[in-house]
Amino acid sequence: MASMRRGSKCENRRSSETTFLIQRKDAKRSGDQQTKIWNQEEVAECDIDALGAEMFEAPVRITRALISVSDKSGLIDLARFLVERHIQIVSTGGTARFLEEAGICVVDAADLTHFPEMMDGRIKTLHPAIHGGLLAVRSDPAHLAAMLAHNIAPIDLLVVNLYPFEDSLRRKAPVQELIENIDVGGPAMIRGAAKNHADVVVIVDPADYPGLVRELEQNDGSTRLPFRRKAAQKAYARTAVYDATIANWLAREIGEENPDWRAFGGRLKTRLRYGENPHQSAGLYLTPELRAGVATARQLQGKELSFNNINDTDAAYELVAEFDPAATSAVAIIKHANPCGVAQAPTLLEAYNQALACDPVSAFGGIVALNRRLDAASAQRIIEIFTEVIIAPEAEDEAIEIIGSKKNLRLLLAGALPDPRSPGITMRSVSGGLLTQERDRAVIDDLDLNSVTARHPTPSELSDLKFAWRVAKHVKSNAIVYANNGATIGIGAGQMSRVDSSRLAARKANETALATGRASPLTLGFVAASDAFFPFPDGLLEAAAGGATAVIQPGGSVRDEEVIAAADEKGLAMVFTGVRHFKH
């Protein structure tokens, strides 16, 4: 008999060293499977070639399972189900102890390998007795002969989840702890079992335990090939995401911004109804980064988020995170991933009213993002017009109740704001490839501003210039932002010509003034921000004609001197940031 683990109450356990199970179809019993126990004495009498391809055809009966998991959620119920079906369980280390403490009989993997766990658990399952049981093709006579000759028992079910490297990375564990949480044996077994999914089923997610149980119940203890193929696909995807997380972490550790090989991966959170348009399929995936925002937020109420909702809400929340909640309240209203109004003020209610005033027509059906806890007064004001989504770090109970009066309005609580300075990678697909770049982490408070005109900005102008620059960073290029008293008054987004963006911002401001019955345009005495340099003075002159008194831009044009001279002639103050904020 194979040796028992200390404290095990298992009795009459079949030897894992001298026997194993093989399956054949009985031609006289259509579809039924018969199980035969083979041992070493029968090897000489066994005509391996005669067994042929009829052996181990789908569906495959489960007779032995190897279980080695880090996340033990739902494991006891699964293991008891397997034992009830007379499926032998092989296990390792902490998983074996966990099962035994629950009174579940297990075979120690060391009983198969004849090697103890060693090197602080780094070596447990890396052995032919394990991998042979997973990789052997049951219908291949040569493989069967090798199994019989070397006492390798087949493993029909592998249940493995990996060391929690991603969790350790999220909580910023020390380097040595991260290294120790890089799983080696787990991915090796997963890949082997997935490769041999014609004979073996591999489960890598506790969420799939109920599906496995149903499959075995519906097929008399067997699994069908479609089930195993689907499980294999998920297994390969899991190890790919795991390895991608490790590789990207190491790239950051060594300062490699563009490694020769780059991998990205995520886990499906939601299958969306469709993409940007109804004929496009779409899904939302969570990455190991787990950045605070729309993907990780709690949805308290409202309809399911659409692809466009998610895209617009992400743009809104990233923008409003530019404003430190300890210093000011800030609100951004977004439509089609561009802001139609942004403001900062002592209270969220004031900020919302000022943001809405910038373009109340475009705000209809928009996304509202706030940088502070949503309060009741702000909630009441927001629901006065049709709004698709509200996102905030948190919300007062009264505010949640108020939003609840609008059943379809989606309320998301992100728990925190994303850090605009934190590193990260953004990507987009291009034909035949992926285009990646570092996240735009330039924050106006960290920049050395250079006043380049004869007149320097006043303190109030400088405050508005910094405000407008924070907003311009999140407007599609070419971007021009007009602002006054901590609020946008006109935004020109996504135009091919910077002059046209200037004109559009002025026109929007004037239209809003007329629509609200104001006696004078909003643009009088405003400041302007441009996401990139003015290649000619014309764009700056367009802003001056509308009433601008100060301008902020990156600088760096070969015609900077001409632009500075034009600003001086108009009496404008102009500041160079030295940083461009293209956004496409």
Which residues are known catalytic residues? 195, 336
Structure tokens at 208: 């799939």
The Cα 156–Cα 328 span in angstroms is 60
Helix/strand/coil for 237: helix
The Cα 203–Cα 201 span in angstroms is 7
Helix/strand/coil for 272: strand
**Phi, psi at 317, each rounded to 5°:** -75, -35
CA dist 153 → 34, 37, 126, 158 (Å): 18, 11, 15, 13
Structure tokens at 146: 């090798």
Helix/strand/coil for 293: coil
Which distant-in-sequence residues (6+ apart) come within 8 Å of 535 by Cβ? 498, 557, 559
For tokens 């995807």, name the residue.
237
Q: Is 56 left (phi over 0), alpha (psi -120 to 50) or beta?
A: left
CA dist 262 → 228, 365, 422 (Å): 29, 38, 20
- For CA atoms 521, 486, 370, 494, the dihedral sign is positive
Residue 33 forms beta bridges with which residues? 25
Rg (CA), the chain: 32
Query: Which amino acid is residue 116, in one-letter code?
Result: P
CB 423 within 8 A of CB 439: yes
The Cα 326–Cα 334 span in angstroms is 23
The Cα 397–Cα 414 span in angstroms is 15
Q: Is 274 left (phi over 0), alpha (psi -120 to 50) or beta?
A: beta
Peptide bond into 59 cis (omega under 30): yes
The Cα 323–Cα 103 span in angstroms is 56
